[in-house]
Amino acid sequence: MKLEGTIVAMVTPFNNKDEVNENGIRENINYLIDRGVDGVLAAGTTGESATITHDEQRKMIDIMVDEVNGKIKCIAGAGSNSSKEALGLVKYAESAGADAALVITPYYNKPQPHGLYMHYRMLAESTNIPLIVYNVPSRTGTDIDVDTIAKVAELDNIIAIKEANPNLDKVSQIMKKLESVDSEFRIISGNDNLTLPMISLGAKGVISVLANVDPARMSKLVQYALNGNYTEAMRIHYELYDLMKVLFIESNPVPTKVALNLMNRPAGHVRMPLGSLKEENKNKLQKVLQDLKLL
């Protein structure tokens, strides 16, 4: 499996009883497919993986696989700070028929580089589903280093890394290191605002928060960049730049869910301990959406 293009890190819509809104998930998936995305991700960070139960997570994976029905790639969020728990989720994603599993670097316990390698090696050797490493040090407290990424890239089932370290030089370091390792291993952007420069350095797409809100334009940006049309990609990048920034004015996915609610898309509330978006930030978000004619 070659991962490429725009994959949407979907929000998890909740109803007024604080239950996962199955119809909302299905509606959002079809909305995204109709607007040209290449894949969807359920139960990732944007899907509030920290506050959904494992039962809800498994249910969401099932819904995603059923609704996508082979039309685009479907990726299951399946990480944990416990290797044993991560293995159970990865195995479930495999049995459910997901195309790949996204596995975040274990958080809070801050494993050493050789511990991270053993974590991913165990998952790769215990399953057959393609695995994507997710590196987001701002949330996990751990940054998987370039040498460890190169070692992990040699494992048969590891196909890509979602790199959300904002250090662009690291992308160059990974690409240089991978020249002698595995040309099929992909770097995927984990930051919407860095997607264009990362693709220029060799990345193959994005796992995107913004694409929940404007999937059509984000998909076009990525395709233009992958096809080498940087003039058009840059035009869309700057067209979307204010949205890229305002969607992170408070903790993700708080602004994104507010944006979707304003657009009458299924989203609902965020689960505690996340709180509501501040009124002044909601006003800023609403103006950006209006400027982009999304409202």
Which residues are known to be catalytic? 134, 162
Which stretches within the chain are classed as H helix?
22-34, 54-68, 83-96, 113-126, 137-140, 146-153, 168-178, 195-200, 215-226, 230-246, 254-262, 279-291
**Are 45 and 8 contacting, i.e. CB atoms less than 8 angstroms apart?**
no
Rounded Cα–Cα distance for residues 174 and 25 (Å):
35
Neighbours of 216 (CB within 10 A): 14
**Are 68 and 76 contacting, i.e. CB atoms less than 8 angstroms apart?**
no
Q: To the nearest 5 percent, what fractions of the chain are helix, strand and coil?
A: 50, 15, 40
Rounded Cα–Cα distance for residues 45 and 77 (Å):
8
**Are 42 and 63 contacting, i.e. CB atoms less than 8 angstroms apart?**
yes
Number of alpha helices (DSSP H) and beta strands (DSSP E) in the chain:
12, 8
Helix (H) or strand (E) holding 159, with range, is: strand 158-163
